[in-house]
Amino acid sequence: MKLAAEVKPDAIILGGDFLHGTCLLPYGRTPQLTPTLCAVELHAIEAPLLFVRGNHEDENWFELRDAWKSLRTFAPVRLNGSFAMIGDIGVVGFPCAMGYEAA
């Protein structure tokens, strides 16, 4: 969060596996942020955010999505078998065939 405020990037890409699928880390530790708290923290970033869903974003992806919608009027940009341009750079999000979403 501090680095994003300092650098002011053109965009930020969360390239998958930014949420832990079971909300449990090794050795019984718990994650620092729930999907809802992650959405709240990411909401403060002013740059466009692109998400690529990985295999660690299973059911908790839906919690992040719903929390995000309650904070902003638009859904997160999710690259799932799709393409986006950021300046001169093209970003491809390969499909992640999980949950109830079509790849």
Domain spans of the chain? Answer: 2-93
Structure tokens at 2: 């501090």
User: Exposed (0-12), middle (13-18) or buried (19+): which is 26, by Cβ within 10 Å?
Assistant: exposed
* Summary mean pLDDT of the chain: 76
pLDDT in tens, 71-90: 866 666 777 778 888 788 88
> Hey, is 90 helix, strand or coil?
strand
pLDDT in tens, 19-49: 765 455 555 565 567 888 888 888 888 888 8
User: Exposed (0-12), middle (13-18) or buried (19+): which is 29, by Cβ within 10 Å?
Assistant: exposed
* pLDDT computed for residue 7 by the predictor: 92
* Residue tagged 């638009």 (tokens): 74
The Cα–Cα gap between 48 and 76 comes to 9
